[in-house]
Structure 1
Amino acid sequence: MDLFHQGDPSRYVLLLLDGWVKVTSVSRDGQEALLALRGPGDVIGDLAAVDGGTRSGTVTTLVPVVANVIEGTQFVDTVVGHPALALGLLRHLARGLRQSDVKRLEYVSASSFGRLAGLLTDLSERHGRPTPDGVVIDLPLSQRELATAAATSREAVARAMRALRDRDILRTGRREIVVVQPRVLRALGRTLPDDGR
């Protein structure tokens, strides 16, 4: 279910209490990109509320969510009236900018395989659930969504996932990925050279 759409006017901010959403954006040529995954504790729609612009992406639930809905002007008034909250918002925005910078650097310095390994490592560390069999990423993401998030093709993701399964680094099920060897996956994300893709 879409919570709001790219280009919509900004009327409210969401504070996620439970569940996960994906943030996607469509380029001028119609290509959809997965920009982010957000979960409990994350604030969504704060940029549009602060600058008065339209939504920069579409937010879609991945699982059932529980969220507080805060009217946009109320959110801004609250931030202005509470310096500690304003500082927390700045830290939240700074963290997002740093993550974007790291991703851009990874995209120019790593192979498509390495970018996927880095993405899966990030997903397992931020959103994974430890089990005796490994770290479970039970977010329902398609290979196409993984491909856009890793700036590569769906075919490259399919090849990489097959290679990772063959080496028992991860296992896949229906809309589920189990990272069996997190340290190996992390190392692959850091060490593979650029392959020109």
Structure 2
Amino acid sequence: MPVAAAWSGGGGLDDRVPFLARLESEDRAALLDLGRELSFPARSALVHQHEPSSHVLLILHGWTKVTASAENGYEALLALRGPGDIVGESAALTGRPRSATVTALAPVRASVIERGSFREFVAHSPTVSLKLLGLTSDRTRAADQRRLEFASMSVRERFAVLLLDLLHTHGRRTEAGIEIDVPLSKQELAGAVGASREMVQRLLKDLRARGIVITGRRTLVIVRPGVLRRIASSAFPEPCDPRVGPAAPPFPRGTSAL
């Protein structure tokens, strides 16, 4: 599918609408023309936390994870970024070191734009600047909402909401159930809900014993999503669409300033 067709947009602008989908076709084409297309193998880092900014990436194909590590070694999974998303824009514009690491979950293809070229493009395009500001604002609001709601949830509830969100955004129906089509480790799942790896192991063991999920090496199949919705419903007293789970997912498309 051509780039313009793949990200022609549609729907309201929120934290889940990727950056390229927010742009008019002329601006999108001009921005992509600035970069050179590179491929990254699975589990390779596109950018590293704390490194100085030298470039911006536009994800064309594949999915990445955004993680940040604390001084004690704990690693938090902040977001997943996929086709149409921009990576590294904040550090490029502010000149600050990168605040997170972005790693390919599967083979990724991206357009790499040199920092100076990106800054010049944004400086001479008020429309693109406003779209970038809107993206940042949406991500910040989504992150604030997540922090507020997670503060009132148990780890069990947070984990159920996470699995439902992954089911909605990355679910692939199979004979066994709905497979989460991004390879996340137990440590990465734990980092997404602010829990320990041991806690996530215990939760998964309980869900397996009850026939709610099936797990393998970096694979996760949800067999009974209705049970997960009931677990999550105590954290969301308002009715939610049964097709997509709770309305306030724990996984904004991006919450970190790279």
When the two structures are superposed, what TM-score results if normalisation uses the length of structure 2?
0.69
Residues 1:117 and 2:147 aligned together: no
1:10-89 equivalences in 2 (<5 Å): 10-89=53-132
Q: 1:158 aligns with which of 174, 197, 201?
A: 201
Does the residue aligned with 2:66 lie in a helix, a strand or coil? strand
Flag the 1:3–1:184 CA change in 2: closer, same or farther, 3 A: same
Identity, in percent, stands at: 49
Q: Offset at 1:89?
A: 1.4
Aligned to 1:142: 185
CA contact (8 A) 1:113 1:192 kept: no
Letter of the structure 2 residue corresponding to residue 120 of structure 1: L
* 1:96-145 Cα shifts (integer Å, max 9, x gaps): 11221122123211111111111112222222234454332132211111
CA distance in 1, matches of 2:198, 2:146: 21
Query: In the TM superposition, what is the alpha-carbon distance from 1:71 to its structure 2 partner?
Result: 1.1
Distance 1:131 1:82 in 2: 45
Q: Larger % of helix: which?
A: 1
User: Is 1:98 aligned to 2:141, yes or no?
Assistant: yes
DSSP 3-state at the match of 1:136: strand
1:39 deviates by 1.0
Answer with 78-87 or 56-65: which moved more. 78-87
Cα displacement (A) at 1:20: 1.2
Per-residue deviation at 1:175?
1.1
Q: 1:178 aligns with which of 213, 216, 221?
A: 221
Structure 2: distance between partners of 1:59 and 1:161: 26
Whole-angstrom distance in 2 between the partners of 1:78 and 1:149: 34
Give the strand-richer structure, 1 or 2.
1
**Structure 2 alignment gaps of length 5 or more:** 1-43, 237-258
Q: Which has the higher contact order (CA 8 A, sep 6+)?
A: 2
Q: Structure 1: which 5+ residue stretches go unaligned?
A: none
Pair 1:51–1:187, CA change in 2 (3 A): farther
Between the two proteins, the alignment pairs up a number of residues equal to: 193
* Distance (whole Å) between structure 1 residues aligned to residue 178 and residue 125 of structure 2: 39
The partner residue of 1:126 within 148, 169, 184 is: 169
TM-score using structure 1 length: 0.88
CA distance in 2, matches of 1:146, 1:63: 17
More displaced stretch, 173-182 vs 130-139? 130-139
